[in-house]
Structure 1
Amino acid sequence: MPVTANVIDAEQVFDQELRLIEAAKGGDKQAYQKLYQRYIGMVYSLCLRLMGDRALAEDASQEVFIQLWRKLGNYRGDSKFSTWLHSVTSNIAISYLRKQRGWLQRMFNIEESVAVNYVADESCDQVDLDSYIQRLPERARVVFVLHAVEGYRHEEIAEITNMAVGSSKAQFHRAKQLLREWMGDE
């Protein structure tokens, strides 16, 4: 019987979420606040992985929830809300990243960005994959996170980032190569 209880609990959570979404669509700020509290961790984590910088991730997360308030009416319920929000977050975070000063320079001068993005925690003996991901050059980091962590196909990544599919694959290969190299040095 525990399996049935879990199914009922999942259905109740799903129904509760749908009610929150509908209320927020109708302008209910408390319902929107509950959605914010439920999803801020997921949104911030994705933004941090894409940006590689805590301050930028915080700013991008704020932008996601500002845009979410405006775009919530676009959610039709065809997929889970978390899946839809994940897609919205990815698109907004990448757009936000493009708007940052020096984005083109960082985009094409990838060697320089390696040193800028690395923040080491010398007290940690364990291999911390997130710190290595943050250390990746920006293009490689974005492609790696979208493909390996979030499960996007290279065709989708190419569309989101305005790069060729081959460039997405090359950046993913570069990211894997750098990660192997760095992790092997530890």
Structure 2
Amino acid sequence: MAQMQLMDAAIGGDARAFESLASKHRTMIWSVCLRVTGNTYDAEDALQDTLLAAWRGIGRFRRDASFGTWIYRIAANAALAVSRARRSTDVEIPEYLATDRDFAEKVAAADLVQQTLKGIPEDLRVALVLRELCDFTYAQIADYQGVPLATVKTRINRARHAFEQALSPDSL
């Protein structure tokens, strides 16, 4: 089925059509949830909350944005809600998973990025994740966060600067 047919069917209540649409975006939804929450347990909860909220709200989807943009926004909201509700704890990688050096280095790099993101204030982190991971425009982020465009630019600039500072050799 073509994208528009899938959308029509999903809006009409076809669960399989919705599943097909959502599965095309699942990796990015997961990324948004993981980056905003900071750990896999909360990200899993946020992913489930996202899919449930999107399914329940698909009938109200107005098509003034793409399905991807719409569901990423739901994912960011769900991840923020889970994160605020739990104030996440760190997740440790079991040693048996880190036996391969390349894998271990990738895990270490991902962990460093995740820890760095967790250290950035929430409003800056969300703006950065939406821009860098979801390819939201500055205007879309401004609309999502309910702030002026200039504030979004400042937030993203500050987040990038904080990220660079945290990853500089002097701070490691």
**Aligned residue in 2 for 1:140:** 120
Q: Within the alignment, does 1:62 sit opposite 2:43 as a pair?
A: no
- Cα displacement (A) at 1:171: 9.7
Larger Rg: 1
Q: Within the alignment, does 1:24 sit opposite 2:10 as a pair?
A: yes
Residues 70, 25 of structure 1: alpha-carbon distance in 2 compared, 3 angstrom cutoff: same
Q: Is the 8 A contact 1:21 1:31 kept in 2?
A: yes
**Aligned residue in 2 for 1:11:** none
- Cα displacement (A) at 1:51: 0.9
Residues 95, 31 of structure 1: alpha-carbon distance in 2 compared, 3 angstrom cutoff: same
Residues 96, 76 of structure 1: alpha-carbon distance in 2 compared, 3 angstrom cutoff: same
Q: In structure 2, list runs of 5 or more residues that go unmatched.
A: none
TM-score relative to the length of structure 2? 0.68
- Cα displacement (A) at 1:24: 1.4
1:79 and 1:170 map into 2 onto residues whose CA distance is 23
Q: In structure 1, list runs of 5 or more residues that go unmatched.
A: 1-14, 107-112
TM-score relative to the length of structure 1? 0.63
Q: Within the alignment, does 1:71 sit opposite 2:54 as a pair?
A: no
- Cα displacement (A) at 1:170: 7.4
Letter in structure 1 aligned against 2:126: L
**Aligned residue in 2 for 1:35:** 21
C-alpha distance after superposition, 1:57-90 (max 9, x if no partner) = 1111011001111111121111211111111211
Q: Is the 8 A contact 1:143 1:172 kept in 2?
A: no
Aligned residues: 153
**Aligned residue in 2 for 1:47:** 33
User: Would you identify which runs of 4 or more consecutive aligned residues in structure 1 move more than 2 Å?
Assistant: 116-119, 125-128, 130-133, 136-139, 141-149, 151-160, 169-183
Residues 87, 78 of structure 1: alpha-carbon distance in 2 compared, 3 angstrom cutoff: same
Task: Tell me the secondary structure at the aligned position of residue 13 of structure 2.
Answer: coil
Q: Is the 8 A contact 2:127 2:155 kept in 1?
A: no
- Cα displacement (A) at 1:145: 3.9
Residues 23, 58 of structure 1: alpha-carbon distance in 2 compared, 3 angstrom cutoff: same
For the aligned residue pairs, the C-alpha RMSD in angstroms reads 3.7
- Over the matched positions of the two proteins, sequence identity in percent amounts to 22
**Aligned residue in 1 for 2:158:** 173
Higher relative contact order (CA 8 A, sep 6+): 2
